[in-house]
Amino acid sequence: MFDPHSPLFPPIEPSRHGMLAVDDIHTIYWEEVGNPDGIPVIFLHGGPGAGLSPQHRRFFDPERYRVILFDQRGAGKSVPVGECRHNTTQLLIEDIERLRRQFDIEQWLVFGGSWGSTLALAYGQAHPERCLGFVLRGIFLCTQPEIDFFLHGVQWFYPELYEEFVAPIPETERGDLLGAYVRRIMSDDPAIHWPAVRAWSRFEGRRVFLLPQPEDEPCDALDLGVGRLESHYMANLGFFSDDQLVRNIGRIAHLPAVIVQGRYDVICPPLSAWRLQQAWPGSVMRMIPDAGHGAMEHGISRALVAATEQFWRLRAFD
């Protein structure tokens, strides 16, 4: 049921949706929402591997925006779920460009949260001429310190979750916790990989929100996508060179950007958002004082909607 007090726009169904084969392995799901004559925007979900939610359509006024959303390789309704072969940041960027050409869009606003912010920055730096601007949430720059925090630093805030996460790994393997999990998650034996992907997904999912939320029903596709793709991308440092996204910020520094960050985000801590904003003087930071990582936390979703509303007003009077 629609909540009239929510900052989001009312629920909406896609006007079109379909599948796009991007290579011999992967076929990705896409959908289009809103006004076909509106401001084009590409929505990039998190994870990697988390996939789309119907809620993601609701950050945009459907009268003013033409929204393209898609499940990235191995995620959501894209097939095969959890597939790591032919799955790199550079290939995801190529997929975004395929979609842009398919929809005959010259330029679009790039909107992404968490891993979606990572991919948004990488896409923008590869194709700045295709970007109108950026709305970014829960910044993740995919550096080694951020990955170390994701895996180990969280024990300072959630020691019980950390203890639960490391418990299945023998002490002799805990010196390389990521490697230990990757070996199990990528195993061909379901008796080995299913417990590992579920443990990984639970380790992340239970610290998304500042305040505890009812746990969702288990979802095998989500657990497999998140567990396999997150560990795959972290093990490869996102397929980036050292601090690449900050070093290359000059390629998009001329474009407008709003950065929305939860003060108490223990998945993507505020230091990364601060570093990005410091390197990007034209960007605007919205630090939400009573939020964690979740896009649907009230203060974060309100700030994201305000950012999309501000952007169309700027375009209207451009």
Per CATH, which fold does 16-143+239-316 belong to? Rossmann fold (3.40.50)
Q: What is the pLDDT of residue 1?
A: 37
Q: Which portions of the chain are predicted below pLDDT 50?
A: 1-2
Strand partners of residue 32: 16, 68
Q: In the prediction, which pLDDT does 2 show?
A: 43
CA dihedral over 270, 271, 272, 276, signed as positive or negative: positive
Establish whether the linkage from the previous residue to 145 is cis, with ω within 30° of 0. no
Question: Across 36-179, where does the E strand assignment appear?
Answer: 39-44, 65-70, 108-113, 131-137
Please list the alpha-helical segments (H only) found in the chain.
89-102, 115-126, 144-151, 159-166, 177-185, 190-205, 220-235, 244-247, 270-279, 298-316
Q: What is the pLDDT of residue 148?
A: 98
Q: What is the dihedral of CA 138, 16, 310, 2, to 10 degrees?
A: -80
State residue 17's pLDDT score. Answer: 98
pTM of the model: 0.97
254 is catalytic: no
Give the tokens for residue 115.
């891993």
- Give yes or no: 188 in active site: no
Among 71, 95, 223, 265, which one carries the catalytic annotation? 265
Best CA proximity match to 270, nearest among 250, 253, 244, 292: 292
Q: Would you call 265 a catalytic residue per the annotation?
A: yes
Ordered by start, the domain boundaries in the chain are: 16-143+239-316, 145-237
pLDDT of residue 4: 60
Task: Give me the catalytic one of 45, 56, 78, 114.
Answer: 114
